[in-house]
Amino acid sequence: MGKLPSTLLRRPSLAGYLPSTSPALPHHTPTTAGGLLSTPQKKAAAAGQVRHATFVPRSRRPYQFTQLVQLSDGSTFTVRTTSPLALYRSAKDSRNHILWQPTEKSLRNVEVDEAGKLAAFRERYGSSWDLDAPTTAAGADAPGAGAAAPGAGDAAAASKEGGEKGPAVEKKGAAEEKGDKKQVDAKEAKPAAAQEPAEAAASADPFDSLVDLISTYASEDKNTKGGLSAKDQARKEKKKK
């Protein structure tokens, strides 16, 4: 392998010191120093120190530099790295990412649709292709929009003919259809409970009953992608007016 660095101690060579008869040494020999060591060994001990230690080679580590890392907001820190660059500027980090900066408006995933191509697509094919379309979408006029609402999963799936009605009407119809079945969907739980025998919902703990737990999930806002798209914002503003 590689040569030893000159600053480290060399392992002393044991060639001249090892007694050739040591394995055959009888056990019942008197253990005095004079009896154990033969004459050449005495000479070797007098000549120099013997280390019967194994040499453990130091692990080879790559050379490391100190590097200055600058985050996107200008703050800096130093790291030890193998990169010979003195300064590393990060383009995307926790300082300009929506996951860590949920209140930063400039990081929102706003749909840029200046040419109106996306709007034209929606007008023609509906919004059922949008993954994060809101559950109360007014896209009822579009064909196939009934099955679009992801939050209303089983209610929408149950009503196959409810394409023409608005989503709210359609959901109510689904609830009546499935009156005999177990209705789990949160928004339908109350009208369904009127027909069904009273559930064991009397428990005082709000999170004990499964229905309540699921309802909290259903009411959770689906805004996981960070912000409304331009389309949804426009819709919201229209509602306000």
Partner 1 sequence: MMSAPGRGSALVRGSYRVCTQCARPAPRPRIASTITTAPRASAVLPLASRRYYSAEPATAQTPTPESTPPPPTSTTPTTAPKPDLYRIKSGVILTRAPLLTREQTPFESAFYFYQKRLNERLTAPFRRQFYFKQDTAADLDFRIKLEERHGVPAKDIGRYNPRGRKAWNDELLTGSSTSDPAELVEKLLADAEVRVSEDGEPIAPEERVPVERPVPRRSEADEAGDVKRLDRAMERTLYLVVRRAGAEGEEAVWEFPTGLVPTEETLHETAARVLTESAGPNMNTWIVGRVPVAHHVVKPVVGDDGTSVVERGEKTFFLKGRIMTGQADLTGNKHGLTDFKWLTREELQEVLPEEYYHSVRGMMELR
Selected from 42, 120, 220, 225, the binder of partner 1 by CB under 8 A is 220
How far is Cα 202 from Cα 211, in angstroms, rounded to an integer? 12
Task: Indicate the residue among 154 and 220 with the shorter CB distance to partner 1.
Answer: 220
Does 100 bind partner 1 (CB under 8 A)? Our answer is yes
Identity of the residue, 18 or 85, whose beta carbon is nearer to partner 1 in the bound complex:
85
For residue 12, what are the CA distances in angstroms to 4, 9, 15, 104, 172? Answer: 13, 9, 9, 67, 91
Q: Which of 40, 73, 196, 201 binds partner 1 (CB under 8 A)?
A: 73
Give the range of 27-35, 176-184, 207-215, 230-238 binding partner 1 by CB under 8 A: 207-215
Select the residue interacting with partner 1 from 1, 63, 112, 239 (CB under 8 A): 63
Backbone angles phi, psi at 88, to 5 degrees: -120, 125
Distance CA 164, CA 217 (A): 28
Out of 5, 26, 30, 116, name the contact with partner 1 by CB under 8 A: 5
223 binds partner 1 (CB under 8 A): no
Contact call for residues 142 and 127 (beta carbons, < 8 A): yes
- The reply to whether 7 sits near partner 1 by the rule CB under 8 A is yes
SS3 content of the chain, % helix, strand, coil (to 5): 35, 5, 60
177 binds partner 1 (CB under 8 A): no
Element (H, E) at 65: strand 65-70
Cβ distance to partner 1 smaller for residue 33 or 210: 210
**Binding flag, residue 99, partner 1 (CB under 8 A):** yes
Tell me: does residue 61 bind partner 1 (CB under 8 A).
yes
Instruction: Say if CB 131 and CB 232 are below 8 A apart.
Output: no
Identify which range of 42-50, 80-88, 107-115, 144-152 contacts partner 1 by CB under 8 A.
80-88
d(CA 11, CA 8): 9
> Integer distance in angstroms from the first to the last C-alpha of the chain?
80
The single residue among 29, 33, 207, 210 that binds partner 1, judged by CB under 8 A, is: 207
CB of 110 to partner 1, least distance (A): 19
Cα dist from 75 to 79, 94, 135, 166, whole Å: 13, 12, 41, 52
Interface positions with partner 1 (CB under 8 A): 5-7, 58, 60-68, 70, 73-78, 83-87, 99-103, 204-207, 212-213, 215-217, 219-220
